Structure 1
Amino acid sequence: MKEMRTSLTSSERKEKTKKLYITPKTAPYYFLAPSVILLVIFTLYPVISSFILSFQSMKGSEKYFVGMANYTKLLRDPIFYKSLNNTFQILIIQVPIMLSIAVVIAVGLNSALLRFKGFFRTVFFLPAITALVAASIVFMVILDDNYGLANYVLSLAGIDPINWLSHPFWAKMSIIAVMTWRWTGYNMVIFLAGLQTISPDLYEASEIDGAGPIKQFFYITLPQLKPVFIFTVVMSTIGTLQLFDEAYILTGGGPNNATMTITLYLYETGFKNFNFGYASAMAYVLVIIIAVISWVQMKIVGDSE
């Protein structure tokens, strides 16, 4: 009887413990715990660790503190300035072209006169979900200096072949073309969603006042799409400043660093030269650049409030 009583007391104690820790108020935290733990391990910890690493350097397998040396080294690094200049050149040319094409395609696909809308929307969006490596290999074949399809078409028109991937200017233009091909459809879908929120009454009223399609586009469509433009400009800018895949696969940063981007230089510094402290400093400088540019864009094109 004494043993039985002890067992019952132990069971009661466990039940009280369960009631104490698992209640309707605490239960949600138990469900959130796995996600929070993964976020801390795979996001928060690497961010903090890389920030600390940016103030360190490595000698063999040992780390030692160097203060601001990695950051001051960036100020004297000509390749860093070259990669920064290349990235901004691509940004200034590619983003306006891509967004202009995207908004025109979106307006066309939103037209009530167009048939098979679903088919055309899918066709234009497909590049965004195409495997980048496969697409880049196809473009390497198309843009090959000797046997590429692009130069073959030019030869039919009597134009001399172009060194698409081995000439500094044309290599940049090739990367811009591939990026535009890949991301125009993605932005088109965003603009299309914005167009479908514009009230048809605005267009009907403008038609009564005698406005044609061109005036409707500039005085109704574009102003109504302002929030969408802000979003796409900021996101496209961030994406271009992080440009890596296209430059890495198509040109490897060449010729003569003509297509070297910030993230590609960061990758080579960290994973080829194993200078992880310097690469981390570069990464945080890039974060600051992205934050400042995004803030400036929001102030320039955003609402005054």
Structure 2
Amino acid sequence: MTATAPPATPSAALTGKPAKEAVRAHRRARLRRTALPYLLLAPALITFGVFKAYPVVDSLLLSFSTGSGTATRAAGLANYRRLLDDPLFWTALRNTGEILVVQVPLMLGLALLMAVGINSVLVRWRAVWRLGVFMPAVTGLVATGVMFAFLLKRDDGAVNWLLDAAGLPTVDWLGEPFWARMSVVLVLTWHYTGYNAVIYLAGLQGIPRELYEAAMVDGAGPVRRFTAITVPALRPVLLFTVVLSTIGTLQLFDEPYVLTGGGPDNATLTVSMYLYQNGFRYFDFGYASAIAYALTLLVAVLGAVQMRLVGDKDR
């Protein structure tokens, strides 16, 4: 009798199929885990690309062209060379610089003093004072400009009425070049001082009280404690507010546009206003883009200088 092989079972032929299915399922699960973060980020990335990255790149390319619409043609560096010979651009840059030099130190100095004062009051009243000084910052810029335009009128403005009631000479706030720039400084200081004061107040509350108590034991007075403890401890906060305020002032547009319209005699014309005029009044988008990138370069240079001067000296 000859031996016969046992009959083949179906499971022997299908032993590899479940393993392959398991491998494929594992790969699909891993792919889903890998792709899920990108799918969740896709709306934000697409929005950033369409509304941020694309306009930045397109405006850079546009700065090397001239004309508008279908008449656009390459111009190389002509727009940037034009900036160097444009007296109105230099006027706008000088106006912006003068406002910056006066307004930023004045505003931040007042904000620091205000924060120190609020930090010294009773804790239960601190929230009330903090809310009070922050309220101007939530006022719309256009509304602020319109309000001060009425207050600073020459004939029937409230400010000149108060000056006249006090026996002081009235001022043509919006009609004389110097006072028009000071009016812009006044509006900016009123609007943003409380905002910076709240930032300083947060920094002050992070300084250990033991440092002040030790300084008082050593006989240090208020001024000495302020210069030796408060200012060094607030160095990162000071750097943040200085850089942020400088960038904001260099981009100044709303307040002078509503308050003076750039006048009188271009005395309050800023770089951003001049950019707007070239782009949306004269439709010279290539030159407007060149102004925008010149302003970007200026902001970057000033920011780097401030980081170097005000930043941490130990690094």
Q: TM-score, normalised on structure 2?
A: 0.89
The corresponding residue for 1:284 is: 293
Question: SS state of the match for residue 34, structure 2?
Answer: coil
Deviates more, 1:57-66 or 1:190-199: 57-66
User: Quick one: structure 1 residues 18 and 58, their matched pair in 2 at CA, closer, same or farther if it must change by over 3 Å?
Assistant: farther
The corresponding residue for 2:303 is: 294
The corresponding residue for 1:267 is: 276
Q: Distance in 1 between matches of 2:291 and 2:68?
A: 19
User: Quick one: structure 1 residues 80 and 175, their matched pair in 2 at CA, closer, same or farther if it must change by over 3 Å?
Assistant: same
> 8 Å contact 2:92–2:270 — kept in the other structure?
yes
Question: How many residues are paired up?
Answer: 292
Q: Distance in 1 between matches of 2:170 and 2:121?
A: 43
The corresponding residue for 1:54 is: 63
Deviates more, 1:140-149 or 1:104-113: 104-113
Match status 1:96 vs 2:78? no
AA in 1 matched with 2:254: D
Q: Could you report, residue by residue, the CA deviation over 1:243-279 in whole angstroms, capped at 9, with x for unpaired residues?
A: 0000100001000000000001000110011100000
Alignment of 1:100-115 (within 5 A): 100-113=109-122, 115=124
The corresponding residue for 1:8 is: none
Q: Distance in 1 between matches of 2:237 and 2:224?
A: 20
Q: Distance in 2 between matches of 1:253 and 1:61?
A: 31
- Structure 1: 5+ residue runs without aligned partners? 1-11
Quote how far apart the aligned CAs of 1:21 are.
Answer: 8.0
Q: Distance in 2 between matches of 1:79 and 1:167?
A: 19
Match status 1:196 vs 2:205? yes
User: Quick one: structure 1 residues 59 and 147, their matched pair in 2 at CA, closer, same or farther if it must change by over 3 Å?
Assistant: same
Q: Distance in 2 between matches of 1:34 and 1:18?
A: 25
Deviates more, 1:254-263 or 1:50-59: 50-59
Q: Could you report, residue by residue, the CA deviation over 1:183-203 in whole angstroms, capped at 9, with x for unpaired residues?
A: 001111110111111111101
Alignment of 1:249-268 (within 5 A): 249-268=258-277
> 8 Å contact 2:177–2:264 — kept in the other structure?
yes
Q: Distance in 1 between matches of 2:58 and 2:103?
A: 34
> 8 Å contact 2:243–2:306 — kept in the other structure?
yes
AA in 1 matched with 2:86: D
State which structure, 1 or 2, has the greater radius of gyration over its C-alpha atoms.
2
Give % identity: 50
Deviates more, 1:242-251 or 1:61-70: 61-70
Match status 1:23 vs 2:48? no
Question: SS state of the match for residue 116, structure 1?
Answer: helix
> 8 Å contact 2:96–2:271 — kept in the other structure?
yes
Match status 1:157 vs 2:166? yes
Decide which of 30, 37, 40 is 2:49's aligned counterpart.
40
AA in 1 matched with 2:117: G
Q: Distance in 1 between matches of 2:310 and 2:31?
A: 49
Match status 1:86 vs 2:95? yes
Q: Could you report, residue by residue, the CA deviation over 1:209-256 in whole angstroms, capped at 9, with x for unpaired residues?
A: 112222211211111111111111111100100000001000010000
Q: Distance in 1 between matches of 2:30 and 2:70?
A: 45
Question: SS state of the match for residue 120, structure 2?
Answer: coil
Q: Distance in 1 between matches of 2:247 and 2:274?
A: 17
Q: Distance in 2 between matches of 1:103 and 1:265?
A: 33
The corresponding residue for 1:185 is: 194
- Structure 2: 5+ residue runs without aligned partners? 1-20
Q: Could you report, residue by residue, the CA deviation over 1:146-199 in whole angstroms, capped at 9, with x for unpaired residues?
A: 110011111112223211011100000000000000000111111011111111
Deviates more, 1:128-137 or 1:57-66: 57-66
> 8 Å contact 2:79–2:286 — kept in the other structure?
yes
AA in 2 matched with 1:301: V
Q: Distance in 2 between matches of 1:59 and 1:234?
A: 35
Decide which of 240, 243, 246 is 2:249's aligned counterpart.
240
> 8 Å contact 2:68–2:283 — kept in the other structure?
no
Match status 1:176 vs 2:195? no
Question: SS state of the match for residue 154, structure 2?
Answer: coil
Q: TM-score, normalised on structure 1?
A: 0.92
Decide which of 128, 135, 158 is 2:144's aligned counterpart.
135
Q: Distance in 2 between matches of 1:289 and 1:109?
A: 35
AA in 2 matched with 1:65: A
Alignment of 1:186-225 (within 5 A): 186-225=195-234
